[in-house]
Structure formats: C-alpha cells, structure tokens
Amino acid sequence: MAGVVAAGHPLTAEAGVEVLREGGNAVDAAVCAVLASFAVESPLTGFGAGGFMMVHGTGPSSDRGSDRASQPDPREGAGAEEEEIGAVLIDFFVAAPGKDGVERGAELVPVPVHFDAETVQTFYVGPASCGVPGTAAGLELALARFGSVPLADLVGTGARLAREGAPVNAEQAYILDILLPIHERLEGTRELYAPGGRPLGEGDVFRFEDLAEALERFGAEGAAPFYSGEVATALSSFMAEHGGTLGPSDLAGYEAIERRPIRVPFRGTEVLTNPPPSSGGILIAYCLGLLERLGERSGPEQLVAAMGAANAARGETFAEALYGEGLEASLLDSAALDLAAGDLLGSTTHISVLDGDGMCASVTCSNGSGSGVLVPGTGVILNNMLGEEDLNPLGFHAIAPGRRVPSMMAPTVVLRDGEIELGLGSAGSNRIRSAILQTIVRTVEQGMGAADAVQAPRLHFEQGVVQAEPGIDEEALARIEARGVRVARRPAINLFFGGVQAVARDPGTGELSGGGDPRRGGAVAF
C-alpha cells in the first residue's frame, strides 16, 4: 500500500511508514507512530496524555467497535455523518477528574518556561494539574474501528525504542532544556531526564524501561489495565497520596468519543476539523470563513484581522457554549461572518498519515508541558491540562468532573471535490490554531507544496501583540504597526509557533508529499 507519514521525530515517522510498507493502512500506521512517539518524544506525549484523531476515507460506518466506545449523544453520533463524508473525529482528550469527590490536597505550582530570551510562558504543574488521560482508550478505539493490524503487532517499535534507547536529537534536547524546571521538581522525572544528576543533552541516549513494559502490556491487554486494572489502581492511589483529584471512578468512567467534524468551505475546498467541546477547530473554521470574506488574498494584515476576531469571540460565553448545542451554527453562520468581516475591514506532538488507498489519519496527542508526575512502576507521566491557562478560560478547576477539558488541538483534513488534498495538525498550545490556519492558506490559496507551507514563516496575534518570525512581509508589518498594534519581530523560527506535520495528495497526479516542521524536529517518511 505504502504512503507518506509526517511526524515530530524521524523515528516516529519511520515507525509509521514501516507499517504502510507491510500493508497496513493509515490508521494502523498512525497508531504505531503514536506509540513510538511515546519513547522518542516522551516530554510531549505518552499514556498520561490525551488527544484527537481525524480519520478520512473510512467508507460506511464499521460494525466493529471497542467495548469502551461511548454511545454518542445527539451532538456527537458520527455514524450518519461518516457515511456522508467518510470522516470521523475520535476524541480521546483529557477529562476533568473529581467524580470520587476527593478533596484537592495540593495546589498548582507555577513554573516559567523560557522559549527564548524574550518569550516566557508560565505553566502550572504538580499533582493538582493532572486530568484523566485518554491515549490508551483512543488508540484502541481507532484501531478497532478502522485498523487492519492487531494492536500486539504495533507496539514493538515503541517498546524497543523505550528499552534500548534512542539518541536525543537537537530538537528534543531543546525541549528537555526548556522543560527542565518542571522535570527536576519531583522524584521520578528528575531521575528519568537527568540520570546520575546530569540533564540529558543532544547525543545522549534516552531509555524508559517502565514505558517499554507499559507498551507491551497495552499490546497484550489493550486499554483495560489503564482504566480499571493495575495501572489504574497505581495512578489513583498515587494521586490520593500526593494531593491530586484523579480517582478510580474518573478512570473507570473514561470513554473515547466519536464526533462529527466541523465543515467549512475555503477557496474551493472543504475543510474538516475538530468540533466542540474542543475550541481550536471551531476558531480555525471561523478564521477561514472570515478570510473568505476579506478578499482573495490572505496576507499578514488579513490574517491578523481574522485572528483578532477569533480572540474576541473566545470569551466566557464561548467557553460555556462549547458544551452545549448551536455554537457551530451561530459562529459559522454566513450572516454573522459577513458582519464580523465588515467590522474587521475598518508539550504536544502531531502525526499525519496518508496511505496509497487515500485513507488519511491525522492525530494530535499532548501531555501539555507535563505535570512532572511520573507514577512509579507504570511508565505513565501524567498531563498538566488542569494547569494550562489556555485551556481553562473560566479559571483553574472550574470544569465539572467528567467533562472534556477544552483544547486547541485540531487534527484537520482538506478535501477538494470530496477527495483528500491535505491532512495536517500541529503542536503549540495556543499557537496551534494560527499554525494550522496559515498552513492551509499557503497550500490551498497560495499553491505552496506541503513542505514549503510548513516551513514558511508564521505570525501569531494574541493579547494585543503580533509575534512574527523572520520572513514575514515587512511592509505589511509596518502597516499593522501604523494601526497601533505592537509587532514583536522574532530573531529566528521557534517551536513557540507550533509544530505542523502535514501530508498532501496532488489532485491531478495523485502524487503524495509531506512537510515536517523544522521548529520541532519534524520529519517525513515514504
């Protein structure tokens, strides 16, 4: 079958493409690549993380299903939509804990992370920051619904990389360096990432034996141990002892959910992306709808205007509406977009796979910045999603137990005449939406290839400041400044601006291509 894989590490991409070479499909390859990323991109992802997978090219809804698959509510049920557009979004993101009524015995710990000399973002970590992880449940469901290779056959590469180790490359060394203040706080991650007291650097070999055992357990027993078995007991007991609120009922009640993707037209294509209660997808769709109305060219000024409108739309009402009905219809309504356009004119990792039969799997997983909590003997480093300011707009610990934490992650596909043209997604906290938006604009509107579109300079507008990488049109930036908007010109590309991994198919020739983001050590394998 063969195909193309774009991922955040060369070994992640190679793990996925090897599955394609052996006859597996895009979902098989994506699952294998995700599991390999646990070993070579461990600060960003793992069994303590959550995520989303967009699958296109599924055909009619399959009768196969995981025992852990949820019964969709009226806003979710993907079956009918899947038959119509051949796409489904699998939501396995982090949920808020607290179903057991455990009182929080610890507070969030603020840790500043320095992306460079000028850019600092505060993350809140520790046991109080840990939400219910979803990767095991989500990968199991994706494979049961759309895969063709047994799970036991897909864990081997990741387990080998975790046990034997792999050299830390330059990009992972940078990530380890900026996250060192988190990793060195607590026993477990301190020894894992600084064996013998010396932090790992480029060229050092990183090994994670407990993760290897966890991967092999997952291959043999599936997700059950992580939600109702030995691993679940270890996680909830450790949390109870250290002041977290993640309890047995939170884990036992967790389910991966199939959802209908958001659909929005853009420059003759149809973009399918992540629906509520995730926030990133609908904000991307909103920006694309505005750009359609701002003219035929989406330059820096139009992009900043659209991003500004999305920032303004993302208020308290928006945060509450993510859990209700009608947000998509109201925000993407043509009249509302026309009105907004008129006013305007005055750590995470991603893997994209496209196989030879046209099936695309676009999957984003994230541990946030990581909580620093490594539960002994499990191979699980828990997420810090309850301590990510971007994901908690109503305040920390305000999300009801069992509800999904809103996310900016937005695995996305672009269709032309119903055929896949582009599959992509990004890492990057609040910059995910701007990174995906600009990559779509450059491929669909400006005709760039996937690699050039991913590598092109980016900007991001938030909190009244336009952050701009070198290479953005200086005349346009000067006009933006003339309107009273501050522009911060960055000295070099940086993982602050996201990590887009994209795969593409030429609609005329059928040729496959891909783009791996140099900001995060991205790689493409065929």
Instruction: List pLDDT tens digits, range 60-76.
Output: 333 333 333 333 333 34
What's the pLDDT score for residue 372? 95
- Residue 332 sits at the vertex; the CA angle it makes with 327 and 335, to the nearest 5 degrees, is 120
The answer to whether residue 354 is domain-embedded is no
With a pLDDT cut of 70, the percent of the chain lying above it is: 90
Q: Is the pLDDT of residue 137 over 80?
A: yes
What's the pLDDT score for residue 69? 37
Total of domains in the chain: 2
Q: What are phi and psi of 327, to 5 degrees?
A: -65, -45
Q: How far apart are CA 208 and CA 160, in angstroms?
A: 10
**Segments forming the whole domain that contains residue 246:** 3-257+363-391
For the stretch 225-277, pLDDT in tens is: 999 999 999 999 999 999 999 999 999 999 999 999 999 999 999 999 999 99
Catalytic residue set: 348
Of 488, 394, 502, the C-alpha closest to 444 is 502
The answer to whether residue 401 is domain-embedded is no
Edge-to-edge order in the sheet of strand 360-366: 257-259, 87-92, 50-56, 360-366, 348-355, 3-7, 523-525
Residues 189 and 281 in one domain: no
Of residues 494 and 73, more confidence is placed in: 494
With a pLDDT cut of 90, the percent of the chain lying above it is: 77
What's the pLDDT score for residue 392? 85
Mean pLDDT of all residues belonging to the chain: 90
Residues 160 and 62 in one domain: yes
Residues 384 and 442 in one domain: no
The answer to whether residue 452 is domain-embedded is yes
186 by DSSP, 3-state: which? coil
Where do runs of H (alpha helix) occur along 325-419?
Answer: 327-331, 334-345
Residues 170 and 316 in one domain: no
Amino acid (1-letter code) at residue 139? L
The answer to whether residue 399 is domain-embedded is no
Q: Is the pLDDT of residue 155 over 90?
A: yes
For the stretch 3-35, pLDDT in tens is: 999 999 999 999 999 999 999 999 999 999 999
- Read off the pLDDT of each residue in 77-92 and give the average, rounded to a whole number: 70
Of residues 96 and 494, more confidence is placed in: 96
Q: Domain containing 443 — which CATH number?
A: 3.60.20
What's the pLDDT score for residue 502? 98
- Read off the pLDDT of each residue in 345-356 and give the average, rounded to a whole number: 83
Residues 228 and 271 in one domain: no
The answer to whether residue 297 is domain-embedded is yes
